[in-house]
Amino acid sequence: VTTPPLPPATNEPNPSPSTIGARLVAARKAAQKTRKQASSDLCIREDYLKCLENNDSAGLPPSPYDIGFLRQYARYLEIDPE
């Protein structure tokens, strides 16, 4: 019995990341933006963007601010905010 060969390793990002945070990171990197650039462009604190990317709701302000930040960041990265 032989096992099929593994696909070649690539440095390409996963085309469909499993979490919204992973999707945000992948989109930001694809857009060649730093978190600091996004923070400046959006007027959202960099640590809040980091929390969004890390799926860390504990570090975010309460609703509706957190939802607004997520939607604004998603639009900025050209991701459907819904």
Separation between Cα atoms, residue 32 and residue 35, nearest integer Å: 10
pLDDT of residue 1: 57
Return d(Cα 37, Cα 43) in angstroms, integer: 10
**Looking at residue 81, what is its pLDDT?**
77
**pLDDT tens digits for range 29-79:** 999 999 999 999 999 999 999 999 999 999 999 989 999 999 999 999 999
pLDDT in tens, 1-24: 565 565 554 444 444 568 899 999
* Predicted TM-score (pTM) above 0.85: no
User: With left for phi above 0 and alpha for psi between -120 and 50, is residue 57 left, alpha or beta?
Assistant: alpha
